[in-house]
Amino acid sequence: MEKNINELKEVITHSKRITVLTGAGISAESGVPTFRGSGGIWRNYQVTDVATPQAFARDPELVWEFYNWRRDLISKITFNPGHKALVTLEKHVNDFTLITQNVDGLHREAGSQRLLEIHGNFWEVTCTKCSKVTMDRSQNMGTLPKCSQCGGLLRPHVIWFGESLDPDIIHKAIEASQNCDLMLIVGTSGVVQPAASLAYQAKAEGAVVAEINIEQTPQSGHMDFVLTGPAGKILPMLVEDFN
Ligand code: BV8
Ligand code: ZN
Task: Tell me the pLDDT tens digit for each residue of 26-55.
Answer: 999 999 988 887 777 776 788 888 999 999
Give the pocket of ligand 1 (CB within 6 Å): 23-25, 28-29, 34-37, 40, 51, 101-103, 119, 158-164, 187-189, 191-194, 213-215, 217, 230-231
In testing the pocket of ligand 1, which one of 193, 216, 234 has its CB within 8 Å of the most ligand atoms? 193
Q: What spacing in Å lies between the alpha carbon of 77 and ligand 1's midpoint?
A: 22
Alpha-carbon dihedral angle through residues 66, 170, 108, 101, given to the nearest 10 degrees: 40
pLDDT of residue 2 exceeding 90, the answer is no
List every span in the chain annotated with CATH 3.30.1600.10.
37-76+120-158
Residue 144 Rama label (left phi>0; alpha psi -120 to 50; beta): beta
State the CB neighbour count (10 A cutoff) for residue 79: 23
Q: Which of 176, 238, 237, 169 is nearest to 207 (CA)?
A: 176
- The fraction of the chain above a pLDDT of 70, given in percent, is 98
**β-pairing verdict for 95-100 and 17-22:** parallel
Q: Which of 161, 149, 153 is nearest to 128 (CA)?
A: 153
Give me the CATH code for the 37-76+120-158 domain, please.
3.30.1600.10
CB 97 within 8 A of CB 19: yes
The residue with greater pLDDT, 34 or 163, is: 163
CB 144 within 8 A of CB 221: no
Q: Decide if domain 2-32+79-118+165-242 falls under CATH 3.40.190.10.
A: no
In testing the pocket of ligand 1, which one of 41, 192, 225, 237 has its CB within 8 Å of the most ligand atoms? 192
pLDDT of residue 132 exceeding 70, the answer is yes
Contacts of 59 (CB under 8 A, 6+ apart): 49
User: Given this model, what pLDDT does residue 232 score?
Assistant: 98
Q: What spacing in Å lies between the alpha carbon of 144 and ligand 2's midpoint?
A: 13
User: Given this model, what pLDDT does residue 38 score?
Assistant: 74
pLDDT of residue 83 exceeding 60, the answer is yes
pLDDT of residue 220 exceeding 60, the answer is yes
In whole angstroms, give the CA distance from residue 36 to residue 58: 24
Tell how far CA 243 is from the center of its chain: 24
User: Given this model, what pLDDT does residue 48 score?
Assistant: 82
Mean per-residue pLDDT of the chain: 95
Q: What spacing in Å lies between the alpha carbon of 157 and ligand 2's midpoint?
A: 13
Starting at the edge strand that comes first in sequence, how are the strands of the sheet with 17-22 ordered?
115-117, 95-100, 17-22, 182-186, 208-213, 225-228
List every span in the chain annotated with CATH 3.40.50.1220.
2-32+79-118+165-242
Catalytic residues: 119
